[in-house]
Copies of this chain bind each other. A is one copy, B any other.
């Protein structure tokens, strides 16, 4: 099973990519209509870090990280490497040597639906990683996957060149051609949330801030005091 390596894949404008780092994953996810979020099985190995970059994608065979080595060559400054195993596998595909190599090329982080190792080193050198597991179990080399093709990762399709935003809440992918539009929507949403936050801090509650009382009424929600409720239960 020979792999394919797609080269010269387009990225979104660098200014746009960089600007996403100002917005959290939850905000961007909402701003693009609740789509593109990777499943919650992908978690950061560090805390308090947020990155944005352009996706270089790769698929890897079970227990074999050959394709990561191939993908490194396709990475450049401002990229995020996104790795999907073709079969569920939690082995440690990635460690501090590959991180050193990616860092030397200006890569901003790794997203992988599998295991990584050398996590103490990765944290110390500040190379950000989102993974499904931590495992010292090393991989072999021999079977090739693909580089820069669309991948299915954690329940989502990620295409090469998608903008990847990742923080403590997880990882979201924004399609390259929608990047400018979603960036603007993220900004708008953040401003709206800032206004809401001020109202909440002042003691208002969501039922009023979001004008939800008519919804409750239509749904027929029933308020009953505790004493009455107890009596009804015994009836």
Residues of chain A touching chain B, judged by Cβ–Cβ distance below 8 Å, are 1-10, 24-26, 29-30, 33-35, 37, 39-40, 43, 47-48, 50, 61-64, 66, 68-70, 72-73, 84, 86-92, 95-98, 100-101, 103-105, 115, 117-121, 123, 133-138, 140-144, 148-153, 155-157, 160, 167-170, 172, 177, 193, 196-197, 200-207, 210, 212, 215-216, 219-227, 229, 235
Contacts and interface: CB of A to CB of B under 8 A. Distances in A.
Taken together, the copies of this chain in the complex come to: 6
A137 B5 CA distance: 23
A72 B104 contact: no
A45 B75 CA distance: 33
Contact of A40 (B50, B134, B138): B134
Contacts of A25: 117, 136
The 5 lowest CB-CB distance pairs between A and B, nearest first, are A62-B63, A2-B220, A69-B206, A136-B169, A101-B200
20 contacts: A4-B229, A5-B224, A24-B136, A26-B118, A29-B137, A40-B90, A40-B134, A43-B134, A63-B64, A70-B216, A73-B207, A96-B197, A97-B193, A101-B204, A135-B169, A136-B170, A143-B219, A149-B229, A151-B157, A152-B157
Contact of A120 (B4, B168, B193): B168
Contacts of A136: 24-26, 29, 37, 169-170, 172
B138 A30 contact: yes
A209 B216 CA distance: 28
Given A69-B205, A69-B206, A69-B207, A200 B104 contact: yes
A233 to B, nearest CB: 8
A63 B7 CA distance: 29
Contacts of A224: 4-7
B202 A5 contact: no
A141 B3 contact: no
Nearest to A72: B205
